[in-house]
Amino acid sequence: MEFFIQQLLNGLTVGSVYSLVALGLTLVYGILHIPNFAHGALYMMGGYVTLTMMSKSGLPYWLAIVISMIVIGTLGVLLERLVFYPLRDAPPLHDKIAAIGILLFLEAFAQFVWGADYQTMPTPYGKVVNLFGLTLTAQRLLIITSTIAIMVLLYFFLKKTFIGATIIAMSQNREGANLVGININKVAMMTFMISGSLAALAASLASPINLVFPGMGHLVILKAFVIIILGGMGSVPGAIIGGYILGFSESLGATYISNDYKDIIAFVILVIILTIKPTGLFVRRGQS
């Protein structure tokens, strides 16, 4: 029983990271209808920037994360301005190819600057904690609590602030939002900023456990795509729920089926969903 709860907690941890990444992805998709294939690179860069801030500049963990979030948020904005904005009228094919180009560029860049080795990220939360008779590292606890905190913050931001409302408006009806005077360019940039920051945060939280290496964005991003298809492309609650569902499935799958192939669980889910409903699980009204 305890073992089971341990697995559940594990799933919660993994799910939190997935949710953060999926959130960034779904927000961008919601307003621009672009699946940002370069999101994994933002995640990866987030990890590296945090690492560099800590090791080269000797900054404390939290400060490094904040800086990373700002840097990667800005990188996201650059991505939007320089790549996605020029391609706004092009066939959707082009967005994807361009994003893949950026993805591979950033990976090569990371390898060039930091080398291809797996690097560890030190954290002040390495202590082992005893909670209700279960042992877990404080890092895992941190991941779970930070994610929940961020989600609450995001919720209030989207629902209660004016800027948040503009994002929701744009995701529901881009033309309409434009017509009522919302500056869709600014909203796009803001959304990418948030998206990038979330990715950086997720990477920084997960890296002490998962290490930092140029390919670290791959699996995460593919799973994030599965999550948003599962939860509904553009749906914020969907990304969160989907993230945790996947996290739990993987955690349980890794223990009870096979650790090597646990990554395939996400894709099996994807195949099943798309076989039954080729348009994805939750189709928004008006979209077909």
Give the residues lining the site for other proteins (CB under 8 A).
33, 35, 37, 83, 86-87, 89-94, 96-98, 100-109, 111-112, 116, 218-219, 222, 225-226, 229, 233, 260-261, 263-264, 266-267, 270-271, 274-275, 278-280, 285-286
* Contact present, 260 and 237 (Cβ < 8 Å): no
The position carrying tokens 């560890």 is 120
* Contact present, 20 and 43 (Cβ < 8 Å): no
What does the DSSP assignment read for 18-57? Answer: HHHHHHHHHHHHHHH----TTHHHHHHHHHHHHHHHHHTS
Choose between 211 and 264: whose C-beta lies nearer to other proteins: 264
> Taking the complex as a whole, how short is the minimal distance between the CB of residue 168 and other proteins, in angstroms?
19
CA 56-74-59 angle, to 5 degrees, is 25
Choose between 58 and 278: whose C-beta lies nearer to other proteins: 278
> Taking the complex as a whole, how short is the minimal distance between the CB of residue 78 and other proteins, in angstroms?
12
> Taking the complex as a whole, how short is the minimal distance between the CB of residue 218 and other proteins, in angstroms?
7
> Taking the complex as a whole, how short is the minimal distance between the CB of residue 158 and other proteins, in angstroms?
23
Choose between 86 and 122: whose C-beta lies nearer to other proteins: 86
Query: C-alpha 202: how far from its chain's center?
Result: 6
> Taking the complex as a whole, how short is the minimal distance between the CB of residue 201 and other proteins, in angstroms?
23
Other CB atoms within 10 A of residue 210 CB: 17
Choose between 77 and 266: whose C-beta lies nearer to other proteins: 266
Task: Give the H or E element holding residue 269.
Answer: helix 264-276
> Taking the complex as a whole, how short is the minimal distance between the CB of residue 107 and other proteins, in angstroms?
7
Burial of 32 (0-12, 13-18, 19+ CB in 10 A): buried
Choose between 58 and 91: whose C-beta lies nearer to other proteins: 91
Choose between 46 and 217: whose C-beta lies nearer to other proteins: 217
Choose between 102 and 236: whose C-beta lies nearer to other proteins: 102
Q: Which of 192, 212, 191 is nearest to 203 (CA)?
A: 212
List of residues 6+ apart from 195 with CB closer than 8 A = 23, 24, 25, 27, 28, 36, 39, 42, 73, 76
List of residues 6+ apart from 189 with CB closer than 8 A = 77, 80, 81
> Taking the complex as a whole, how short is the minimal distance between the CB of residue 63 and other proteins, in angstroms?
30
